[in-house]
Chain A
Amino acid sequence: MSLWRQVTRGLRVLTNRRVADHELADELQDYFEQATASFEASGLSSKDARSAARREIGNSMVVREQVRAYGWESVVETLLADLRYAARQLRNNPGFAATAILILGLGIGATTAIFSAVNPILFQPLPYPHPDRIMMTFEMRDGGSRLPNFGTFEGLSERSHSFEAMAVMKPWQPAMVGIGEPELFEGQRVSAAYFRALGVLPALGRDFQSADDQFNGPNVVILSDRLWHRRFGGDAQIIGRQITLENSSSQLAVSNSFTVIGVMPRGFENVLAPSAELWAPLQYNPALPPDSREWGHHLRMVARLQPGVSKEEATSELDAILPAFGRAHAKGFESAGGIPAGVVVTSLHDHVTAEVKPALLAILGAVILVLLIASVNVTNLLLARGAQRRGEFAVRAALGAGQRRLLRQLITESLLLAGLGGTFGIAVATLGVRVLVALSPPGLPRVEAIRVDSAVLLFALGITTCIGLVVGLVPAIHASRNDPHAGLQESSRRSSGHQIVRRFLVVSEVALALVLLVSAGLLLRSLERLFSVDPGFDASYVLTMQVQESGQRYAGDDARARFFVQALENVRHIPSIASAAFVSQLPLSGDYEVYGIEFEAYPNEAEAAFRYAVSPDYLKTMRIPLRRGRLLDEGDRAGAPVAVLISESLAKRKFHDRDPIGQRVRMGPNMGRSGKPWATIVGVVGDVKQLSLGVNEADAFYTTPTQWAWVDNAQSVVVRTPGNAAILASAVRNAIWSVDKDQPIVRVATMESLLAQTEAQRRFALVLFEAFALVALVLAATGIYGVLSGSVTERMRELGIRSALGATRADILALVARQGMRLTALGIGIGLVGAASATQAIAAMLFGISRLDLVTYLGVVALLGGVSLIACGLPAWRAAQVDPAITLRAE
């Protein structure tokens, strides 16, 4: 009841102060009149009665103020008055206000935008219930980890009790036909427990059951909410409907008709395959026949821990299960490269973020430096304003404003400034987030979750408030400490203490800017180094695409080989194509396939190397140079003695100065099988970068597909074109489809774009660092300029005297410039120490240079020195123009 009165009465006063004041004045007047009347009644003359009444009431102004000060609304009123005053101050100095708001807005905006990207990826839990219990499981191999196969999954999931749900998955790219335009989709083949492992169930229909995920089981599919709306208009009757999907990798599926059994909820975020829009059961064979796809290491395994079971407990349980299961399926594991040494269990969150974490943290650190510089800059501006307003403060203090009252006024002003900057900053962030998402490298997880949401707004509000307080505090303390007496006297004579603070701030700005510039420089030079690395082939004018032969048409290797030969023939017939070839794994495309190779001359010294099954023209098409011997040719076919090319570095390491040509090797499945024939090394070719430009793993061997143990069903075609490679894409695709129109073709790209993509993450970080460093440089320069011109203004008189006493313009110029450059030099010195340690944060992103790279540091020092020289030059020049006669007379 009373709270209600507090609020309503307070609001009434607040909205109509005049009525309230009027009422109070009336009441007081009435009091006065009654008092007068009562004094008169006691016998005083009317004049004496009035003065007695007046005495009793005292100063009516003070009484009114006393009553007015009661209630929460008076606090609000003071605040509003302060705000109005602050707003007027800003309006009267539009230049200052605009500069400060711009600087703060950019700083807050950039920081908020970066935070909105980093927050969902690194800091927020994944969008699943109990996300900390979701784990990824890998096979341990040679100390590292690799993808498990279905055999391992079966063995573990049947026997393990540590997990609530375990599932494996693989990518799936079916095409939907029959309704509207045919469209190729991204999807996943998953085992039945996939959605249970993530903890999200379909919003409509049902989840997969074990009856769905059976060998030769029913064709069922679950759709994403997005696909359901896009292709089916959100039809509520979708459950039970048949849709036709082609090129499904379910090899023995009789029918291509799938029954829709469920639709995932709208908010479902599939972090393991963000673009997947539909899911079908994996339907692998639990009998696990050896030499089958069930033993291929191409599945990812996700699992949800039982409540209360730790990651370590689960790992040791799985480790204990493996050996016995391995013995029971010895043959299968043999075809899979042996029983794994154990399992590696990592949390889903770590799995998703591990790769991007260092870069994101470094970027967040960088943007916080930018924000710091921006805040320092605005503090400087406020200090300069404070110096100009010394007279005003003195007058207010003389009129009775307490030190506290002044402090509150100034903090209100800086908070208002920060608030305006923050509002502008949120606009900047909203835009910046879009730019970030557009620029983001392909591997960046949870891109969909990057947006300006309530957490981000809260963050922006938080930093805005902090900045408002911090930025305002230094100048406010300074101003409130001023002696009003001194302030009232014209104060140009006083060499003020705030100059020292301002210099200190400028030094810190320069130091922070240097750290950012060095970091950006190091990244820039790393990227330059990377792109000057020779990939080992000529990437220009090469078009590539991957043909995924679906397996069910070409029952045997021969038929499959014929398909690829025929397709290649058709591609070659396209006019203007110089040469074309197939390869089992394409460099710099993400393909990764390593097999063992043993040498007759060095028994027990087997090596692991990239295996390339290539059509004979591959090396010529890619322009991989031949070092010795001969390339592969049409003669190297099934039945003929097996010919092998090895890479230069493998040859050098194995044979040193001896000639490797004619030496004999056994590879892959033939390794260690004495019954199998040896293959002969016929040539040595140049090293090729397979994984990325930065990774030096160059051991490789090449054979023709027909001389390998099998013919791969996914092969990449590489086409050398005379000019722009991309425009031939559809011609090449049609040439392949003219052999068989149902072969899915994916990953169409020029070799050059693949090359650029391998460094997308570094490039992303570089672009951001460059932007931040540039902003920092500009801010530091304006900081130096501001301090120096402020100092010149204050020293006008001194400078006038100096020139009156005979100092030349050059002397004055040097005097002022030296003052500025001293600050710069100090800042650079501190910044160098800072950079030397701060660059540890980006060490992981550097390539080919040390984080203490001398050239970078020298370049940055020169750049910063040059820019600050310009920033010093302007005020110095102005100082040199001082006419002693005018300055001295002005006093």
Chain B
Amino acid sequence: MDETNTDVIQGTLDMLILKTLSLEPMHGFGIARRVEQISRGVFKVNPGSLLTALQRLERAGWLDSEWRQTENSRRAKFYALTRAGKKQLEVETADWTRRSSAIARLLKAEG
């Protein structure tokens, strides 16, 4: 049994989704897989949280969604970043960088 914690760090799921979608519009499964791949399996996204987060981001006006054909001609709901979403991603990225480097500094100082 793999006991490693693969939960997404609290509060960062939105940012991960926005970042993933900044590359190209994608459907739910695609987002989950992309997050998993890019994090090299460190983060696994559970579909319930993912779909809820997508709802939330869409309501916030950062995403738009539409049903489209996939490359293997299946119908899927695709999410795309809006302009407000792009701005939000910048804000969150800057915020995260600031905080994570602060934490890194702190940990280094302790060490």
Contact = CB atoms under 8 A, between A and B. Distances in A.
Interface of A: 1-2, 5-6, 9, 23-24, 26-28, 30-31, 33-35, 37-38, 56-58, 62-63, 66-67, 70-71
Interface of B: 27-30, 32-33, 46-49, 51-52, 55-56, 58-61, 70, 72, 74-77, 84
Contacts of B58: 5, 9
Q: Which of A27, A38, A56, A66 gathers most chain B CB within 10 Å?
A: A27
Nearest to B60: A2
B51 A63 contact: yes
A24 B84 contact: no
A2 B61 contact: yes
B76 to A, nearest CB: 5
A446 to B, nearest CB: 52
5 contacts: A6-B59, A30-B74, A37-B72, A62-B48, A66-B49
Contacts of A63: 47-48, 51
Contacts of B46: 58
Nearest to A35: B29
Given A58-B47, A62-B48, A63-B51, A33 B59 contact: no
Given A2-B59, A2-B60, A5-B58, A34 B29 contact: yes
A571 B73 CA distance: 111
Nearest to B55: A70
- Please name the 3 residue pairs, one residue from A and one from B, whose CB atoms are nearest each other, closest first: A34-B29, A2-B61, A63-B48
Given A30-B29, A31-B29, A70-B52, A56 B47 contact: yes
Interface of A is mostly: helix
Contacts of A28: 47, 51
A23 B60 CA distance: 19
B84 A70 contact: no
Contacts of A9: 58-59
Contacts of A6: 59
Nearest to A62: B48
Contacts, number: 68
Contacts of B27: 30-31, 34
Contacts of A23: 77
Given A31-B28, A34-B29, A63-B51, A71 B59 contact: yes
Nearest to A24: B51
Contacts of B47: 28, 31, 56-58, 63
Given A34-B74, A66-B52, 16 more contacts: A2-B61, A5-B61, A9-B59, A27-B28, A27-B51, A27-B76, A30-B28, A30-B29, A30-B74, A30-B76, A30-B77, A34-B70, A56-B47, A58-B47, A70-B52, A70-B55
Contacts of B52: 66-67, 70
Nearest to A8: B59
B77 A38 contact: no
B51 A5 contact: no
A56 B28 CA distance: 13
Nearest to A53: B29
Nearest to B57: A2
Nearest to B28: A31
Contacts of B84: 1-2
B67 to A, nearest CB: 8
Contacts of A58: 46-48
Given A31-B28, A34-B29, A67 B77 contact: no
B28 to A, nearest CB: 5
A28 to B, nearest CB: 7
A868 B59 CA distance: 62
A70 B48 contact: no
B62 to A, nearest CB: 8
Contact of A67 (B30, B55, B61, B70): B55
B20 to A, nearest CB: 15
A30 B77 CA distance: 8
A31 B48 CA distance: 11
A5 B77 CA distance: 18
B81 to A, nearest CB: 14
Contacts of A56: 47
Contacts of A26: 75, 77
B30 to A, nearest CB: 8
Contacts of B75: 26, 30
A70 B60 contact: no
B75 to A, nearest CB: 7
Contact of A5 (B30, B32, B33, B59): B59
Q: Which of A1, A31, A57 gathers most chain B CB within 10 Å?
A: A31
A707 to B, nearest CB: 97
A9 B27 CA distance: 20
B79 to A, nearest CB: 10
B84 to A, nearest CB: 7
Contacts of A62: 48
Contacts of B51: 24, 27-28, 63, 66-67
Q: Which of B27, B47, B70 gathers most chain A CB within 10 Å?
A: B47
A17 B84 CA distance: 28
A71 B29 contact: no
A33 B55 contact: no
Contacts of B74: 30, 33-34
B77 A27 contact: yes
A312 to B, nearest CB: 62
B76 A34 contact: yes
Q: Which of A2, A26, A35, A62 gathers most chain B CB within 10 Å?
A: A2
Contacts of B33: 38
A236 B52 CA distance: 66
B77 to A, nearest CB: 5
A55 to B, nearest CB: 11
A9 B30 CA distance: 24
A302 to B, nearest CB: 61
A67 to B, nearest CB: 5
A23 B76 CA distance: 10
A38 B49 CA distance: 20
A77 B32 CA distance: 30
Contacts of A57: 47
A825 B70 CA distance: 82
Contacts of A31: 27-29, 32, 47
A70 B50 CA distance: 12
Q: Which of B29, B33, B51, B74 gathers most chain A CB within 10 Å?
A: B29
A554 B61 CA distance: 90
Contacts of B59: 2, 5-6, 9, 71
Contacts of A27: 28, 51, 76-77
A24 B52 CA distance: 10
A67 B28 contact: no
A2 B51 CA distance: 18
B1 to A, nearest CB: 13
B18 to A, nearest CB: 14
Contacts of A2: 59-61, 84
Given A24-B51, A34-B76, A67-B55, A5 B60 contact: yes
A66 B50 CA distance: 10
B24 to A, nearest CB: 16
